[in-house]
Amino acid sequence: MSDTTVIDTAPLGAGGPRVGVQGLGCMGMAFAYGPTDTSEARATLERALELGVTLYDTADMYGAGENETFLSPFFRAHRDEVTIATKFGIVLDPADPLARNVRNDRPYIRQAVEASLRRLDVDVIDLYYMHRRDPAVPIEETVGAMAELVAEGKVKHLGLSEVTGPELRAAHAVHPIAAIQSEWSLFSRDVERTAVPAAEELGVAFVPYSPLGRGFLTGAFTDASGELTADDFRRHLPRYNGANAEANRALLEPVRRIAEARGATLGQVALAWVHAQAAARGMSVIPIPGTRSRARVEENTAATRIELTPDETAALEPIASRVRGDRYADMSFSSAGRE
Ligand SMILES: NC(=O)c1ccc[n+]([C@@H]2O[C@H](COP(=O)([O-])OP(=O)(O)OC[C@H]3O[C@@H](n4cnc5c(N)ncnc54)[C@H](OP(=O)(O)O)[C@@H]3O)[C@@H](O)[C@H]2O)c1
């Protein structure tokens, strides 16, 4: 099921711009999910825009800057139509592809924003996120440094990724936060403990990442180690490998049943569930499914028009609590590690 109707819009936080209710995750175009056909990826960016997708998500660490550079011609060609979101804070180690260091200090932020502006080749970043939290740096200090960038015109709106509800509240007291970005899907609902209620109360938009469970919820792969290329990051995520993946595959049965009854795909049902969280809570929820293909962006945006019935929602409800295996191999890399 896919059509080409333009998607609806929603506000990106209380003072933020209106954006398409579904954004586009661009990470896979340069990083983490195996080889990319770059001309199809470029065509996907254009197709997404035609369909009303205006929020484009990247980060400085995706491909060590390569993703921002790749996106820059598209952003420059459509500067007034797109909302550019990028992130700072995860520092890669060239000697170890899996190592992740986190920096939240002011000197680092000031250096990171200049590097992103240069690679993106724009004057201002629309939404600038702290990608991960370094608990050694008070969040007030980090957001204070980010607020300076707003005052200087380098950044328009602020965002935080993988923070807890209390961290979001403390940050929002220093400077309005437009959006929080964390993993939220049929398989990953730990954010509902504190982050989602805080965002709802403060009028902060929620931007769910990996809303398709990094592809697993679509059925596109069933066991990362057995099916994906050696450099694919999903081979390091416990829930998508071996015995965990086998158990988790069975959890997709209700998703499959609903999809078949509606003539939809599994991925569309998974996305419809994420979109349904907006109406259920009266808040902006703007998922950013990642894809490098025009056909899939058409399929994913069409999911914004599926309204799940209460019976369907009830059938999907138990899934997350039964998932085997964590979101990350090291959960200290997530907000759940601090709750
Ligand atoms: N803040 C953070 O820490 C963080 C962490 C992870 C991701 N993100 C952001 O969130 C975005 C989305 O998350 P994600 O890419 O990790 O996971 P996702 O959106 O849940 O899934 C992406 C995967 O699903 C595949 N896919 C997409 N649409 C599909 C469809 N209709 N049918 C079958 N397969 C489909 C994609 O393959 P193809 O590309 O080949 O279509 C890709 O492998 C990223 O691009 C990134 O911008 C942020």
Question: What pLDDT does 1 receive?
Answer: 47
Homologous superfamily of domain range 9-327: NADP-dependent oxidoreductase domain (3.20.20.100)
Locate the ligand 1 atom nearest the alpha carbon of residue 185 and give its number: 20
Q: Whose CA is closest to atom 10 on ligand 1?
A: 209
Residues 53-94 have pLDDT tens digits of 999 999 999 999 999 999 999 999 999 999 999 999 999 888
CB 98 within 8 A of CB 330: no
Amino acid (one-letter) located at 288: I
Closest CA to 235 of 221, 249, 247: 221
Q: What is the pLDDT of residue 104?
A: 97
291 pLDDT band, cuts 50/70/90, is: very high
Query: Which of 71, 68, 142 has the alpha carbon at shortest distance from 102?
Result: 142
* Residue given tokens 């919820």 in the structure block: 217
Residue 3 has pLDDT above 80, yes or no: no
Q: Catalytic: which of 62, 129, 209, 240?
A: 62
C-beta separation of 21 from 9 below 8 A: yes
Q: How far is CA 163 from CA 21, 133, 142, 271, in A?
A: 22, 7, 13, 22
Percentage of residues in the chain having pLDDT higher than 70: 99
Res 211 pLDDT > 70: yes
Cross-strand pairs, 90: 102
pLDDT, tens digit (0-9, with 9 covering 90-100), for 238-289: 999 999 999 999 999 999 999 999 999 999 999 999 999 999 999 999 999 9
Look up 240 and say whether it is catalytic. no
What is the dihedral sign for C-alpha 161, 162, 165, 168?
A: negative
> What CA–CA distance (Å, rounded) separates 247 from 267?
19
Pocket test for ligand 1, best of 188, 212, 231, 273 (most atoms within 8 A of CB): 212
Query: Which amino acid is it at 134?
Result: D
